[in-house]
Structure 1
Amino acid sequence: MTSTLIAPRTAIGRPAHRDPNVLRWLAAYASSMVGDSVYYIALSWAAVQQGSPAQAGAVMAVSAVPRALLMLGGGVIADRFGPRRVVIGSDLVRCAAGLSVAALLFLTSPGLWPLALLAVVFGTVDAVFMPAVGALPARVTTRDQLARVQGMRGLAIRFANVVGGPLGGLAVALGGAAAAFGLAGLLIAVSVPLLISVRMREPAVDDKAEAGAGNADAGDAGEGAGGRGAAPGAAVLGAPDSEARGATAPDSGKVPARATTPLGDLRAGLRYIRAHRVLAPLMLAIALGDLGFVGPLNVGLTLLADERGWGASGMGWVLSGFGVGAGAAALLLTVRGRLPHAGHVAGWAILAGSVAIGALAFVPGVLAAVGVALLVGLLAGLSGALCGALLQTQADPAYLGRVTAVSGLVSLGFAPLSMPLSAAAIGAWGTGPVFVGSAAVCGLGGVVALCVRDLRRAELPG
């Protein structure tokens, strides 16, 4: 069912936003993301109904643990078995789990334990799903279209955020948490036949990203970046979905490569990233940018709205401004497809965005805050999409799952740790100093992007 279909050569070179194959992938991704949004509404509502606020908070947070602990292993799985196969399997598991809990809630009142178990299942599956989703674009389009695909992906995320919340709320109002879980499962299920219909393309030899500026040929002694770090069987990991991992295809006529262990693949991926002249500083820039961004735009904004008397509605308007800005950045990349001097633009966008983050704590009123938040969203969306496109184009296809896993671990595992720290710091020193300090941390990511020559000069193909 998940066998690979190679895209015909006539489809290659078509702009991504006009390619039916890419649009099928985008529809599958959007449906899955809307289902996720509905799922979180259903989980939070059911947890509040079944337990105390503290217990509900614990249920909502429990999925983060397996996601953070297993994310790197998920990247190895995506590279070994192929990203589409992993995404389809993940969606099937999430669909079955959601529908099972929906049936359980419809028939009885089981308490919190099935909700906690569901959260653990979703968190575990997310650890595999997210790296595979990040590795899929390189298999459905050409490298010169990856920036446009990142923009389209950003639009799908904004669509899911706008549609998923009201849809989940409507399902809860009409049929309770059981109906909302059932709707989430069905929306996730819709993505499966769409993904099966998507044709996977095998990257041509001249279509693969270089292992890093000045690196030795990846075929020399079977090693990757700089002649270091790649496992001897790394090229096999980059094979199409139809090929078995750890050996060449049975009918290829080639000498089978030495099988590698999952732990060996993980170490090889980490060494590959560390030795890569673009990916290594790019990971650091992403980490610094997220660490300085997540705290102020989550916990910090809530406390700022309370301090200034903006209320929940004012905070909602500010968040809407951010969403509009991020959506505009995604639309820009979708239309343009490529921005020249990607490394330069990403670095300056991170720096300018950090200044806007610091300014949020000093604006005089809600209207000004909405304008600044729109600017933050525009710059953050632009830098995030460019960094994502650079990850896609700079990483060898054999390592895309592991590269995406490391990036996801930084963004979803480490960056959220700044939220309780930001809250405690605001309680001790106030919003102004903490927003400025967070902006400085975020700005360091831009400094890294601009000071490291290979990252600064990185370009997107076009």
Structure 2
Amino acid sequence: MPTTDTGIPPAPVTLAASARPAHRDPNVLRWLGAYTASMVGDSVYYIALSWAAVQAGTPTQAGVVMAVSAVPRALLMLGGGVVADRFGPRRVVIGSDAVRCAAVLAVAGLVFVTDPGLWPLALLAVVFGTVDAVFMPAVGALPARITDSDQLARVQGMRGLAIRFAGVVGAPLGGLGVALGGAATAFGLAGLLIAVSVPLLISVRVRELPPDDADDVSAADDVDDARKGARPGTGWQDLRDGLRYIRHDRVLAPLMLAIALGDLGFVGPLNVGLTLLADERGWGAAGMGWVLAGFGTGAGAASLLLAVRGRVPHAGRVAAVAILAGSVAIGALAYVPSVLAAAGVAVLVGLLAGLSGALCGALVQTRSDPAYLGRVSSVSGIVSLGLAPLGMPLSAAAIGLWGTGPVFVVSAAVCGLAGVCVLSFRDLRRAELPKVKKKQEQQQPKSKSK
């Protein structure tokens, strides 16, 4: 079996702790605080990096510095999933945040005492991308080690709220740091925020989940295969075992395809496409800001719904319907007559995309065997962060040739194929999230022991 997080000995998770819903569990809340601090630190870091790069070079050179971290992240993320499964996600997340904190603070000191030019900034970006390649799969694998399977959907909603909070708070904090003391102050603030996550993560209690923890959503033969594939081998063997595990799973394999299609159709219109649409309609930066705010509001509402409710029945079918309805809304976004109407449609897009994304993430969490969750998370991440961004330059070029309307419609059709994919595979269509256990049911083993 993969090694546990023995580098920093965890306390055992008691029955009383796991009997609480995730949003009231101090152990989960410590993890959430660490994750939020790290994400806000990331947002501040990107503001600081972009400002320092623009000050040190040309806009083209600054763009290269900002983009260079994507290369090691895309190339190494599959290996990062192997690392997370082999050494334990908690240890990997703690180590990753420690390295990122040290790297950012080192550059903050360098920028403070001298004008280092672009090379240290590019090196920092490469370090961040390399560490992200192991950090992201470990982050995806950690929730299953800190709470019960019936709480993972709720944790997915809480994670979505943390991401939205970081997006709203991080940019103004980064701008404030730059205004007060330049890039050095902003880098220092980013490093301190990331540093906050380390002691919180050390205090998080983890456990090694038994393979049958996912029995509610996994077939017995899949669990048996996972046990066989979990024997330690070389890194390449572990990677092949993980890919084989996904390929042979009747839910995960089509789910990865659906995630790829959904992100590929979604990223172009809601990033570069929205900027070009605002410019074409004369909405300006303020109008684009209102549309983005509408999207963020809808996505945050979806995360809040899942965090509070804890479970959505018929998860596979609901995800498919949300994807299909969201794709229609994406296509309609290019034809609305005003900024106000566009913001309203963006709320709907955010709500539906947020709901479908959270449900797909929760299905990944609950369907995957714990021995493979890091590798499954890495494949999901490489699909979203490696393949989906390719749609941005393609969307920009296509809009230049044919305009926003046709490109938004085609992108919406690609996104809609994700919903068709979910409906086309019976096991994925019928996939359910584990039922949230009542407190009495969770305490039943304890009463029997008496």
Matched, 1:216 2:216: no
Could you tell me how far apart the structure 2 residues matched to 1:60 and 1:110 are?
16
Could you tell me how far apart the structure 1 residues matched to 2:82 and 2:211 are?
22
Could you tell me how far apart the structure 2 residues matched to 1:217 and 1:150 are?
24
Contact 1:76 1:266 (8 Å CA) reproduced? yes
Give the aligned length: 429
Structure 2 unaligned residues grouped into runs of 5+: 1-6, 436-450
Of 40, 43, 47, 2:49 maps to: 43
Q: Deviations over 1:392-446 (max 9, x none)?
A: 0000000000000000000000000000000000001110100000000000000
**Identical pairs, percent:** 79
Could you tell me how far apart the structure 2 residues matched to 1:39 and 1:410 are?
24
Could you tell me how far apart the structure 1 residues matched to 2:294 and 2:362 are?
24
Contact 2:56 2:118 (8 Å CA) reproduced? yes
Contact 1:68 1:413 (8 Å CA) reproduced? yes
Q: Deviations over 1:278-336 (max 9, x none)?
A: 00010001000000000000000000000000001100100000000000000000110
Q: What SS does the aligned partner of 1:364 have?
A: coil
Which residue is 2:365 aligned to? 392
Could you tell me how far apart the structure 1 residues matched to 2:64 and 2:209 are?
44
Amino acid at match of 2:160: G
Contact 1:342 1:458 (8 Å CA) reproduced? yes
Which residue is 2:197 aligned to? 191
TM-score (norm 1): 0.91
Q: What SS does the aligned partner of 2:316 have?
A: helix
Could you tell me how far apart the structure 2 residues matched to 1:114 and 1:139 are?
37
Contact 2:229 2:241 (8 Å CA) reproduced? no
Matched, 1:350 2:355: no
Which residue is 1:164 aligned to? 170
Pair 382,218 (structure 1): closer, same or farther in 2 beyond 3 Å: closer
Q: Which moved more, 1:1-10 or 1:365-374?
A: 1-10
Which residue is 1:296 aligned to? 269
Q: How does 1:45-124 map to 2 (within 5 A)?
A: 45-124=51-130
Determine which structure has the larger helix proportion and give its number: 2
Of 415, 423, 426, 2:399 maps to: 426
Amino acid at match of 2:221: A
Pair 118,209 (structure 1): closer, same or farther in 2 beyond 3 Å: farther
Which residue is 2:303 aligned to? 330
CA shift, 1:217, in A, is 6.0
Amino acid at match of 2:179: A
Could you tell me how far apart the structure 1 residues matched to 2:138 and 2:212 are?
23
Contact 2:211 2:223 (8 Å CA) reproduced? no
Q: Deviations over 1:336-370 (max 9, x none)?
A: 01010000000100000000000000000100000
CA shift, 1:201, in A, is 2.3
Q: What SS does the aligned partner of 2:15 have?
A: coil
Of 425, 431, 438, 1:458 maps to: 431
Contact 1:209 1:395 (8 Å CA) reproduced? no
TM-score (norm 2): 0.94
CA shift, 1:54, in A, is 0.4
Contact 1:12 1:142 (8 Å CA) reproduced? yes
Which residue is 2:235 aligned to? 262
Contact 1:279 1:394 (8 Å CA) reproduced? yes
Could you tell me how far apart the structure 2 residues matched to 1:269 and 1:376 are?
33
Contact 1:210 1:396 (8 Å CA) reproduced? no
CA shift, 1:9, in A, is 1.7
Could you tell me how far apart the structure 1 residues matched to 2:13 and 2:171 are?
36
Pair 312,110 (structure 1): closer, same or farther in 2 beyond 3 Å: same
CA shift, 1:205, in A, is 5.1
Which residue is 1:257 aligned to? none
Structure 1 unaligned residues grouped into runs of 5+: 225-229, 237-245, 247-259
CA shift, 1:4, in A, is 2.8
Amino acid at match of 2:351: L
Which residue is 1:253 aligned to? none
Which residue is 2:408 aligned to? 435
Could you tell me how far apart the structure 2 residues matched to 1:409 and 1:58 are?
21
Could you tell me how far apart the structure 2 residues matched to 1:209 and 1:358 are?
39
Could you tell me how far apart the structure 1 residues matched to 2:381 and 2:217 are?
20
Could you tell me how far apart the structure 1 residues matched to 2:100 and 2:156 are?
24
Of 132, 152, 155, 1:146 maps to: 152
Could you tell me how far apart the structure 1 residues matched to 2:71 and 2:16 are?
45
Report the RMSD for the aligned CA atoms in angstroms: 1.2
Contact 2:217 2:431 (8 Å CA) reproduced? no
CA shift, 1:207, in A, is 1.6
CA shift, 1:233, in A, is 5.1
Contact 2:295 2:343 (8 Å CA) reproduced? yes
CA shift, 1:206, in A, is 3.8
Could you tell me how far apart the structure 2 residues matched to 1:439 and 1:446 are?
11
Matched, 1:177 2:183: yes
CA shift, 1:208, in A, is 2.8
Q: Deviations over 1:107-153 (max 9, x none)?
A: 10010000000000000000000000000110111000001000000
Amino acid at match of 1:449: V
CA shift, 1:450, in A, is 1.2
Contact 2:74 2:386 (8 Å CA) reproduced? yes
